[in-house]
């Protein structure tokens, strides 16, 4: 099997890397937090002391990092991926970043003979653990064909959507829809609760109709329990919406609903709830209406 360098072992990267190890792929891993590297080494990976070292020993490199600046530093910076990667290496960046940064990284990598795919994911930590993420990929078809089986270990939906940058554009579209779904759910269920109607019964009544959605089924049961332990933190969704709004500005696209939900999320972050799950958006509406949507 091809040796894989895996850089970024956070809430998403760690379980994704573990699934590759379980599938039998030889991994060399790196993270700026040494304890995370040690944990994966204990699970069977080889430890690296830098991004360049991980790249030097690998045929395929996967990065799973918080945002655009971290990807640029890990790939383009000193002791970064491009310092160690051999010509012909495929870099799969699974971070959720700005599409323009994906294109910038790809252009600089191409000068070194390295092919880049942008392959952000959707599904949060639970699906990262289960290996059932949705993975949306941008980049050359031949490179995609070479890594598709590897990506399929981490996700049950792996789709090439176009050329470089299109993966992250697709992820931004996904994040817009998720955010607006949660906000709509929150408004509706706070209205029902304030009206004296049991929100759990409302949920059961509407989930099989046109208002039903994967988002509703994932987030409403947790809201009814008051459980906002993060699968995907509000502060991370703020980052994604910021990238979406920046991209919209570049393209001259108006996104008033996204801006409104961004404001709600930023308010929640300002009052100390940025680390809550994004389903915690409902708390904004609860506070304004002086009710709690609970069983």
Residues 16-68 have pLDDT tens digits of 999 999 999 999 999 999 999 999 999 999 999 999 999 999 999 999 999 99
> Please, are residues 106 and 139 in contact by the beta-carbon 8 Å criterion?
yes
Task: Locate 18 and state its tokens.
Answer: 């573990």
Intrachain domains 4-163 and 169-289 with the same fold: no
Q: Which helix (H) or strand (E) holds 228?
A: none
Domain boundaries, the chain: 4-163, 169-289
Predicted TM-score of the model (pTM):
0.92
Architecture of domain 4-163: 3-Layer(aba) Sandwich (3.40)
Residue positions annotated with a catalytic role: 171
- Residues 179 and 3: their CA atoms lie apart, in Å, by 37
Answer whether residue 115 shows pLDDT above 90: yes
Domain 169-289 of CATH type 3.40.50.11820: no
- Residues 285 and 295: their CA atoms lie apart, in Å, by 17
Over the stretch 172-193, which tens digit does the pLDDT of each residue have?
Answer: 999 999 999 999 999 999 999 9
């Amino acid at each position: 099997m091809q040796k894989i360098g895996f850089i970024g072992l956070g809430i998403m990267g760690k379980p994704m890397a573990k699934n590759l190890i379980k599938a039998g792929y030889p991994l060399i891993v790196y993270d700026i937090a040494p304890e995370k590297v040690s944990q994966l080494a204990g699970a069977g990976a080889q430890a690296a002391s830098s991004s360049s070292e991980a790249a030097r020993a690998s045929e395929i490199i996967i990065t799973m990092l918080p945002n655009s600046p971290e990807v640029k530093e890990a790939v383009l910076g000193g002791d970064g991926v491009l310092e160690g990667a051999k010509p012909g290496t495929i870099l799969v960046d699974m971070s959720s970043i700005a599409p323009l940064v994906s294109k910038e990284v790809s252009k600089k990598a191409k000068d070194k003979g390295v092919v880049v795919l942008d392959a952000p994911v959707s599904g949060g930590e639970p699906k990262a653990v289960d290996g059932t993420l949705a993975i949306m990929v941008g980049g050359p078809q031949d490179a995609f064909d070479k890594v598709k089986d590897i990506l399929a270990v981490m996700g049950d939906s792996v789709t090439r959507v176009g050329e470089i940058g299109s993966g992250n554009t697709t992820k931004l579209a996904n994040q817009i829809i998720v955010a607006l779904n949660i906000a709509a759910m929150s408004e509706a269920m706070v209205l029902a609760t304030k009206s004296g109607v049991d929100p759990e019964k409302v949920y059961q009544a509407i989930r099989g109709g046109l208002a039903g959605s994967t988002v509703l089924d994932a987030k409403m049961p947790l809201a009814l329990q008051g459980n906002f332990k993060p699968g995907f933190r509000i502060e991370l969704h703020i980052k994604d919406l910021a990238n979406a709004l920046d991209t919209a500005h570049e393209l001259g696209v108006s996104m008033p609903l996204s801006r409104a939900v961004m404001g709600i999320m930023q308010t929640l972050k300002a009052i100390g709830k940025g680390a809550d799950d994004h389903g915690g958006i409902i708390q904004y509406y609860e506070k304004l209406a002086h009710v709690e949507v609970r069983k």
